[in-house]
């Protein structure tokens, strides 16, 4: 089995194993808490219904009103600032779900906009990531030259370390900023930054959704957008390095297989347009005769030849004097004539 197939199968098995392990861990960590939260919410619901004498229908209406009103706490979601934030989230494939189009025209335009914007965003982030890797390689090379290292070229490991450090710096700095502006704990802010820059986008934590931030805090809006775009570019740089590393591994396997096949390809002989292996197995055939010469080609059989010049043998045969070491073409009305040296050898033995 080829190494690429083995690697692909190993990746599939490892991925599904990782999914099973993740499901087991999340089940152990979250299942009990979910049950307790549901019990608390159910008790609170019963208390509210009894205290205010609310019917089940009225309670469902209140739930819908509260859920629908939540996005509007940040102000108008579809004015230019909110619409620009939504367009950025769509292009970056984060998908918080904090606000969604409700009109048919808005949904149709969202699909068309995403079909064009997502590839455009991927290419842009990939290009910025490549430029960042180039800049990091220059900085690393100059730093190694200044420190008088024996090898001054930036390796893949150096670049991955540099982009990893830059990504960590962006996430930790962004967590501090969002913790201050949103009132979250630092851990929740760090969680929000990680979920955002990895484009997971659960939507449980969304910035710019409190205190009319979209309309009254333009600086904070700009800072959030810069954080998303620049952070995604840095993450794209890291992913670009990982993809290049994987492609390099595949190229090395292909080169290794080609090297292994070269000795086998050297043991191939070509005889009258037919490619023969050393064991005599026919690998390929090429008909040199035209359509009009097909009957003659069927009647002519070329026997084994010890000479190295089939063209010279053919010319000598046409003139009636075949040199020693060549068989004459065998025709149905003419028996096979062995080479002269074969007859001489037979007479000598008698």
- Residues 61-75 have pLDDT tens digits of 988 888 888 777 677
Contact 283, 276 (CB under 8 A): yes
- Residues 64-115 have pLDDT tens digits of 888 888 777 677 888 898 899 999 999 999 988 888 899 999 999 999 999 9
The number of beta carbons lying within 10 Å of the beta carbon of residue 99 is 19
C-alpha R_g of the chain: 38
Query: Considering the chain, what percentage of its residues have pLDDT values greater than 70?
Result: 70
Tell me whether residue 3 is exposed, middle or buried, using C-beta atoms within 10 angstroms of its C-beta: 0 to 12, 13 to 18, 19 or more.
middle
Alpha-carbon distance of 96 to 43, in angstroms, equals: 30
Q: How many CA atoms lie within 13 A of 152 on its CB side?
A: 10
Strand order in the sheet with 274-277: 268-271, 274-277, 282-284
SS3 for 222-243 is HHHHHHHHHHHHHHHHHHHHHH
Is a pLDDT exceeding 60 seen at residue 217? yes
Q: What angle do CA 317, 319, 324 make, to 5 degrees?
A: 45
Is a pLDDT exceeding 70 seen at residue 18? yes
Kindly report the average pLDDT of the chain as a whole number. 78
Is a pLDDT exceeding 50 seen at residue 171? yes
Alpha-carbon distance of 328 to 119, in angstroms, equals: 68
Alpha-carbon distance of 80 to 97, in angstroms, equals: 18
DSSP string, 127-171: HHHHHHHHHHHHHHHHHHHHTT-S--SPPHHHHHHHHHHHHHHHH
Q: Place 251 in a pLDDT band, splitting at 50, 70 and 90.
A: low
Residue 79: partners with Cβ closer than 8 Å, 6 or more residues away: 214, 215
Is a pLDDT exceeding 50 seen at residue 309? no
Of 136-150, 205-219, 336-350, the least confident: 336-350
């Amino acid at each position: 089995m080829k190494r690429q197939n083995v690697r692909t199968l190993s990746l599939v098995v490892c991925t599904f194993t990782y999914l099973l392990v993740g499901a087991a861990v999340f089940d152990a960590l979250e299942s009990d808490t979910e049950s307790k939260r549901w019990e608390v919410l159910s008790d609170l619901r019963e208390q509210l219904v009894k205290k205010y004498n609310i019917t089940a229908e009225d309670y469902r209406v209140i739930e819908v009103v509260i859920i629908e009103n939540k996005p509007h706490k940040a102000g108008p979601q579809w004015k230019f600032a909110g619409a620009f934030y939504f367009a950025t989230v769509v292009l970056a494939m984060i998908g918080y779900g904090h606000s969604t189009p409700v009109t048919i025209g808005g949904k149709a335009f969202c699909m068309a906009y995403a079909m064009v914007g997502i590839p455009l965003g991927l290419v842009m982030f990939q290009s910025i990531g490549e430029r960042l890797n180039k800049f990091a390689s220059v900085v690393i090379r100059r730093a190694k030259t200044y420190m008088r290292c024996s090898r001054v070229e930036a390796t893949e490991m150096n670049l991955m370390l540099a982009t990893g450090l830059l990504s960590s710096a962006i996430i930790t700095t962004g967590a501090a900023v969002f913790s201050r502006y949103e009132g979250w704990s630092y851990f929740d802010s760090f969680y929000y930054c990680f979920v955002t820059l990895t484009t997971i986008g659960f939507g449980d934590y969304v910035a710019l959704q409190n205190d009319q931030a979209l309309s009254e805090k333009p600086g904070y809006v700009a800072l959030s957008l810069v954080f998303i775009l620049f952070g995604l570019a840095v993450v794209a740089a890291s992913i670009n390095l990982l993809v290049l590393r994987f492609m390099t591994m595949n190229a090395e396997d292909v080169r290794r297989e080609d090297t292994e096949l070269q000795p086998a390809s050297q043991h191939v002989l070509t005889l009258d347009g037919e490619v023969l292996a050393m064991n005599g197995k026919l690998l390929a055939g090429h008909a040199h005769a035209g359509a009009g010469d097909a009957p003659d080609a069927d009647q002519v059989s070329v026997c084994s030849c010890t000479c190295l010049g089939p063209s010279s043998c053919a010319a000598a045969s046409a003139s009636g004097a075949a040199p020693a070491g060549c068989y004459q073409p065998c025709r149905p009305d003419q028996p096979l004539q062995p080479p002269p040296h074969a007859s001489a050898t037979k007479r000598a033995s008698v």
